[in-house]
Structure 1
Amino acid sequence: MDLLALADFNLVARHGGFGRAARATGRPKATLSRRVTELEASLNLRLLERGARALRLTEEGRALHERTGALLTELEETAAAIASGGEKPRGRLRISAPLLFSQTAMGKLAAGFALKYPEVRLEVTTEDRAVDMIEEGFDLVIRVNPDPDDGLVGRIFLRDRLVAVASPDLVRPAADLAVPAIVRSEGDRLAWDVKTPTGLSTIAIKPVLALSSLLMVRDAVRAGVGAGRLPISLVSHDLANGALVHWGDIDGPDIALWTLYPSRRLLSARVSAFLDYLKQAFPKGTPDELAAYIGA
């Protein structure tokens, strides 16, 4: 069996079409098509059903892709590791990270990682959307409370929680009155359920500002415009020095920051090094650690 043709078949299967595979890799579409046709001829099997607008794997093609795709990936990464000097991290490492984490911590993390691993060229893209790792060529993504994905594995490296905070000059009103508030979007709920030492209570809110960035929300809350829902790591220093007051923890699930990567038995040395570096930066993964890292 021609391994090059098998690799091209897996490339097309992974990207879902000749055109997508060609654009993602810079390979000629005609070459990919010819290689797959040659592989089908050598196996005497139809691996792909080619429609006018779509392409799908046959049952035999799906079985071949599932059994050989991971093996070829491991062979490629093994060869790359040998060519780059074994397990020493080097080469390009592309990471996608959410906006707030990038604004508050990623610059410092990236600088420290670059100093420790000067032969790795780190590229960080900031965005909150769920990127397609394979299609867009990312080695690692950092996401907040991601949806389950059978094609990815990952781990939680940080936890945070939302709190209701306000300027000391803003008095929390009685239960039947709404408090001015800064929200992320106009579609936010008009009440916050908060946990306090005395139990669960509800704060009615009247949005006065809608700001897409949590850093902007924090600055507006500091200025006394209204109350806000913010991660505790982002306001812990303000709470400690009295610039803000704590009205309670928002009732709901904690914020979990995950690192996600493709389901492979062999991780590249670059990805493994970055995962280890995150573990060193946040050994316990608590909100207090993130607050200290941001404030340092």
Structure 2
Amino acid sequence: MDLLALADFVLVARHGGFGRAARAATRPKATLSRRVAELEAGLGLRLVERGARALKLTEEGRALYERAGHLLTELDETAAAIASGGQRPRGKLRISAPLLFSQTAMGKIAAGFALKYPEVRLEVSTDDRAVDMIEEGFDLVIRVNPDPDETLVGRAFLHDRLVVAASPGLARPTANTTAPAVVRSASDRLTWQVMTATGPTPIMIDPVLALTSLLMVRDAVRAGVGAGRLPLSLVSHDLADGTLVEWGEVDGPDIVLWTLYPSKRLLSARVSAFLNYLKEAFPMGTPDELAAYISK
């Protein structure tokens, strides 16, 4: 059955004639008449009796109008609700987020979002790899310094930077000495470049401990095992209260967290709501904001 022809039939029946329906819909009367005739031909039924002055529904036409009118109204309302996301976001929202952000902030973010939008079923997966959003069925991914991708769009919502931090009791190395260091990999370079008041300065290190998690690196640095390169948001409170001291900011690009999604066009209400929630949580997107959020 041609749904467009059925919709035209309902329009004509509702207004009681081709002329009134044409004026209400600002469409040609002849077009409506032709579409209703095509519907009748397709069904093999006469739906309307065409009089000189008025239109009368046949018994079959009246039965079809009563049933189809409700169905088409429901379809229109369903389409409008899907297009707008309804009054409140609802449905499943799948997100992939990097490990460190997941460990420090994502649990609190997910819980707050779930309380604000109880009709959304949020699923968060922790991945440091570049997932395939389409193939793996993710609605949104959070990534650190992502490579350009023509198939995805997104926005940066947090900025951080690496600093070299150490226990106050650990002596900073001189030009001819090395400092014990906690590294992410045993193959890390043996010289760290940091920015100081006098410019770029090398720090020679002796990797005494290799840990794959930045949270483990921070805990080891707090224990005084060695210096470590850590995001400022992870150690800002330690630096403020003197538990750790900063040897300098690592010379290199900032750490930028992005939200990525397939298209700006017809973005779902669920994704839009989550993006707005992140913006509310981190309005300025600074390391201090992230540190404050983690410590709440």
Distance 2:173 2:210 in 1: 21
Report the identity percentage: 79
After the TM superposition, which residues 197-276 of structure 1 pair with which residues of structure 2 at under 5 Å, given as runs? 197-276=197-276
Q: Deviations over 1:198-248 (max 9, x none)?
A: 221000011011111000000000000000000000000000111100000
The answer as to whether partners of 1:183 and 1:207 remain within 8 angstroms in 2 is: yes
Distance 1:98 1:263 in 2: 21
Give the 3-state SS of the residue equivalent to 1:275 in structure 2. Answer: helix
Corresponding residue for 1:135?
A: 135
Distance 1:267 1:84 in 2: 10
Corresponding residue for 2:148?
A: 148
Corresponding residue for 2:65?
A: none
Larger Rg: 2
Shift of 1:86: 2.2
AA of the residue aligned to 2:243? A
Corresponding residue for 1:82?
A: 82
The answer as to whether partners of 1:160 and 1:254 remain within 8 angstroms in 2 is: yes
Give the 3-state SS of the residue equivalent to 1:230 in structure 2. Answer: strand
AA of the residue aligned to 2:278? L
The answer as to whether partners of 1:178 and 1:206 remain within 8 angstroms in 2 is: yes
The answer as to whether partners of 2:84 and 2:269 remain within 8 angstroms in 1 is: no
Shift of 1:106: 0.4
Give the 3-state SS of the residue equivalent to 2:279 in structure 1. Answer: helix
Distance 2:88 2:274 in 1: 12
Corresponding residue for 1:159?
A: 159
Distance 1:193 1:238 in 2: 22
Give the 3-state SS of the residue equivalent to 2:291 in structure 1. Answer: helix
Shift of 1:80: 8.6
Shift of 1:82: 2.9
Distance 1:254 1:241 in 2: 24
Distance 1:112 1:213 in 2: 26
Distance 1:85 1:202 in 2: 54
AA of the residue aligned to 1:221? V
Where structure 1 has 5 or more consecutive residues not aligned to the other structure, the ranges are: 1-77
AA of the residue aligned to 1:279? K
Change (3 A) 1:172 1:83: closer
Give the 3-state SS of the residue equivalent to 1:112 in structure 2. Answer: helix
AA of the residue aligned to 1:155? R
Q: Deviations over 1:132-154 (max 9, x none)?
A: 00000000000000011110000
Where structure 2 has 5 or more consecutive residues not aligned to the other structure, the ranges are: 1-77
Give the 3-state SS of the residue equivalent to 1:273 in structure 2. Answer: helix
The answer as to whether partners of 1:96 and 1:126 remain within 8 angstroms in 2 is: yes
Is 1:185 matched with 2:185? yes
AA of the residue aligned to 1:192? W
AA of the residue aligned to 1:256? V
AA of the residue aligned to 1:247? W
AA of the residue aligned to 1:253? P
Distance 2:133 2:87 in 1: 23
CA RMSD, 1 decimal: 1.5
Give the 3-state SS of the residue equivalent to 2:252 in structure 1. Answer: coil
Give the 3-state SS of the residue equivalent to 1:274 in structure 2. Answer: helix
Change (3 A) 1:80 1:161: farther
The answer as to whether partners of 2:143 and 2:259 remain within 8 angstroms in 1 is: yes
Give the 3-state SS of the residue equivalent to 1:96 in structure 2. Answer: strand
The answer as to whether partners of 1:81 and 1:268 remain within 8 angstroms in 2 is: no
Corresponding residue for 1:39?
A: none
Is 1:286 matched with 2:292? no
Paired positions, count: 219
The answer as to whether partners of 1:84 and 1:90 remain within 8 angstroms in 2 is: no
Structure 1 stretches of 4+ moved >6 Å: none
TM-score (ref. length: structure 2): 0.72
Change (3 A) 1:85 1:279: closer
Corresponding residue for 1:109?
A: 109
Change (3 A) 1:80 1:238: farther
Give the 3-state SS of the residue equivalent to 2:176 in structure 1. Answer: coil
Corresponding residue for 2:121?
A: 121
